[in-house]
Structure 1
């Protein structure tokens, strides 16, 4: 089995050492030391230049180092190439931590209080108990389920929405187009953890915001492409939404002077919610290589027709 890593040199060297100890039969190579390109069967990367793909005529599998694959143009990749997203504890745990932090911050009106501090204003708002706050999570994959599990101990009334029906203990689950409106009506705090596809791009728009309770709050930790930025600013300025915490943007980084940097109702972080940990992610790769050798399904393999 011959595998090529394309990405940061330090990560490649570390993963090569760990994989070689666990699976000595794997010939792990690090770009640009490819050797004979025709020998490479598997590629580990975040993005893949067209010329790299074209140089690997026998490539069978692309392992993404991230939880999503929307950074890849699937139409430009060979149609029979298997594509596998990263599922590993580092991403899942850090994402769940961030969502819990963000929801609690919005529940306790942290953007309002930070704006008050900066304005020299000493003011307060009444806060309902968590059991009376309704939180909705869009996207019920591994990250969505982990986020809901992190929120459950706080007592929030939890709901989830996905394209296909799901069942999660303690969570009121909605699905499909018919389930979206009642889900949004439930969501006083909305968390977006959807994969970015043609169907979900710009799903966070004025129609979505209008279907939420007035004064609702938004957390976007998925992709910047889910959000129509002008619609969010409009909803914040007219009071339909009261605050937002954003970890993603389009583009990234945002240009200097962008209104998200200074809007008093927005807290912005630089795409740090779910972090692929070098030390733990390599073991997810090793597990999938073992699955492949045994003819088992790969954890995280996407359905290219759906894009996730």
Structure 2
């Protein structure tokens, strides 16, 4: 059995070495044009040439949480696209979102500005019952984030395509449930998969439905957000600000308005990074399960896009 690794913008060598140690029965290499056929591949942003040349692949393991870029390629019908279940990303995402929510709720940006100016300041404590947090997307990452937010006693809403039932979380689902979910939310956390249906979902109409003084945290994909609509709603005062980790163009262009806007916090797509050792262990386990004829989690439905 052969496993090949095809990364764009990342070094494959640590993954080759890690897989060889974890799975000595397999031949592992980094892909180069013209390479011999492999049974399984681990990829990040592979070119179409890789897909075309590796026609015998059985499975394509994506090291990121989202598979939207893969589904834009021409993939053979028999090829299983598999996303990682977690690989250490959910706890990182929960850390990031909780930090962003708490930083906004406790007005730490304001305290930072005051202390930098040498000012000893006081702000009246806010009522967390007034800061309902809505988690948009209740997959593995979204569910972990929603549960983490409950620890801090924020009211938590959840939205998903299909119905979910999570203890202590007010759940909404389907197109009919989206307006009510947004209207019940003051801090919106986007963790939706990117599909044709969800592209541009964070727009003037949806963001205007958030409660006055709303706040946006986007940790999913940059194409979910209509940048100009967010800016307009912040400048009008309907939204208090945003924390953004993902963007339509990455790295974020130096002249983009997000860099300098006083009510927007920018981070460089770092909310949840793939952990190599955990990912390798999970991928090896999935390949071994497939060899035994067992089903595995994480197989992507191309029609749904996740």
The correspondence of residues 1-308 of structure 1 with structure 2, limited to 5 A, is 1-7=1-7, 12-32=12-32, 35-37=35-37, 40-114=38-112, 125-308=123-306
What is the alpha-carbon root mean square deviation over aligned residues? Answer: 2.2
TM-score normalised by length of structure 1: 0.92
Shift of 1:90: 2.0
Shift of 1:129: 3.5
Shift of 1:283: 1.0
Contact residue 5 and residue 31 of structure 1 kept, 8 A: yes
Name the stretch that deviates more: 161-170 or 296-305: 296-305
CA distance in 2, matches of 1:60, 1:131: 50
Secondary structure class of the residue paired with 1:63 = strand
CA distance in 1, matches of 2:117, 2:237: 19
> Aligned pairs, how many?
306
Secondary structure class of the residue paired with 1:44 = strand
Contact residue 91 and residue 144 of structure 2 kept, 8 A: yes
Residues 191-229 of structure 1: per-residue CA shift (max 9 Å, x gap)? 000001111111111111111111111100001000000
Residues 65-91 of structure 1: per-residue CA shift (max 9 Å, x gap)? 101111224352222211011223321
Residues 17-66 of structure 1: per-residue CA shift (max 9 Å, x gap)? 443344333222222397523xx121111111111111112112111010
Structure 2 unmatched ranges of 5 or more: none
Secondary structure class of the residue paired with 1:234 = helix
Label 1:57 to 1:245 Cα distance change in 2 as closer, same or farther (>3 A).
same
Shift of 1:108: 1.4
Contact residue 115 and residue 264 of structure 1 kept, 8 A: no
CA distance in 2, matches of 1:194, 1:35: 36
Label 1:252 to 1:124 Cα distance change in 2 as closer, same or farther (>3 A).
farther
Name the stretch that deviates more: 279-288 or 136-145: 279-288
Residues 121-159 of structure 1: per-residue CA shift (max 9 Å, x gap)? 776543324344211100000000111121111011111
Contact residue 190 and residue 218 of structure 1 kept, 8 A: yes
CA distance in 1, matches of 2:119, 2:257: 22
Shift of 1:253: 1.4
TM-score normalised by length of structure 2: 0.92
CA distance in 1, matches of 2:229, 2:264: 14
Contact residue 108 and residue 127 of structure 1 kept, 8 A: yes
Shift of 1:8: 7.4
Structure 1 unmatched ranges of 5 or more: none
